[in-house]
Amino acid sequence: MPYSKTRAIEPDTGKQPGDGLGALNLYYRLPVVLLCTGIFWQSCYASLGPVPLFPHGDKVAHLMVYGLLAFVAARWLSREKRNLSPGAITLLAAVFAIGYGITDEIHQGFV
């Protein structure tokens, strides 16, 4: 029999290029970390500044910031946990943002 050059077939681990702790995943993790840090830093101060432009403007600002946090968390989770369904990712991201908001309110109680 003639000698044939065949490559050994590597087992499929399910990992994609860029999985792990590389720079690509930092691209998805960093916005979550920066936004959480910014929220924490801002909540160290008693007031953001002047009176809101309209009634309940502070509530709208909270909704926007924590909605953005849920979005970037969902973006990160969809990259890190590819085996989760979109509904599960949405739920986990919302629970994360709500949980972070609750802990931030507790933090503000001490400031």
- Residue of 74, 65, 64 lying closest to 95 (CA atoms): 74
pLDDT higher than 70, residue 92: yes
Q: Up-side HSE of residue 23: CA atoms within 13 Å toward CB?
A: 0
Residues 46-73 have pLDDT tens digits of: 766 677 788 888 889 899 999 999 999 9
- Residue of 87, 91, 73, 95 lying closest to 28 (CA atoms): 73
Q: Return d(Cα 20, Cα 10) in angstroms, integer.
A: 19
> pLDDT tier at 14 (50, 70, 90 boundaries)?
low
pLDDT for res 73: 97
